Structure 1
Amino acid sequence: MMDHVTRQMIIVNQILEERDAQDALFGRQDDLPNGTGAEEMKQLADRYRYACDAAFAAGEGTLRHVFLEEVFEAMAESDPVKLRAELLQAVAVGVKWLEAIDKQQEESQ
């Protein structure tokens, strides 16, 4: 069975490969506006935060709940420093989710 650190290193390498592929396909695109901080995003963030809390309180929480909560918290943020922190949290949950998928697939073989 693969250890935790090795699994993370493989995922990070796959993420970097995907980023290179995106740049090759679409160009750098680092001059696009963030497009975050709109009032409707703040409302969605509140709704997903509530939905996530409710799901876990009912014993039905999933990685989908956690991931969407983090994504919508990022989309609600207009301050670049806070946006970066929220995006980092969303990406970390995404990596956690990928780890879980890989571990489940490994265990089922």
Structure 2
Amino acid sequence: MSDATNAVLVEIATERAAQDAIFGQQDLPDGTGITGDADRASSARHVCDVMFERGEGTYRDVFYEEVCEAFAESDPVKLRAELVQAVAVGVKWIEAIDRRSA
């Protein structure tokens, strides 16, 4: 794992600790897999594909697709996998922002 990735993950861990300090442990319902989520995920995948075919794809497109795919999942194992993918894209996006700022 790169130093850049480690730095972002440390920042995320610090934020998580701050959230726990403020809100404590929260065990909220997932709220995923509701009517229309699968259609939104399919649409987000299509838009992402089209944007990259045009050479205009962005991190927003990829991140939005991953989040929509997570929202469409009701199976906890699949939901977890989709959330890992979404967060990984978020970390990658943060790393790109940091490189541009350097």
TM-score by length of 1: 0.90
Name the structure 1 match of 2:22: 25
Counterpart of 2:9 (choices 12, 15, 23) is 12
Q: Distance in 2 between matches of 1:39 and 1:53?
A: 23
* Cα distance in 2 for residues equivalent to 1:58 and 1:101: 23
| 1:47, distance to aligned residue in structure 2 (A) | 1.0
For the residue of structure 1 that corresponds to 2:48, the secondary structure is: helix
Map residues 92-103 of structure 1 onto 2, 5 A cutoff.
92-103=88-99
How many residue pairs get matched? 102
Pairwise CA RMSD = 1.0
**Within-5 A mapping of 1:39-50:** 39-50=35-46
Q: Which amino acid aligns with 1:22?
A: Q
Instruction: Identify the residue that residue 79 of structure 2 maps to in structure 1.
Output: 83
Distance 1:104 1:28 in 2: 35
User: Structure 2: which 5+ runs fail to align?
Assistant: none
Matched, 1:53 2:46: no
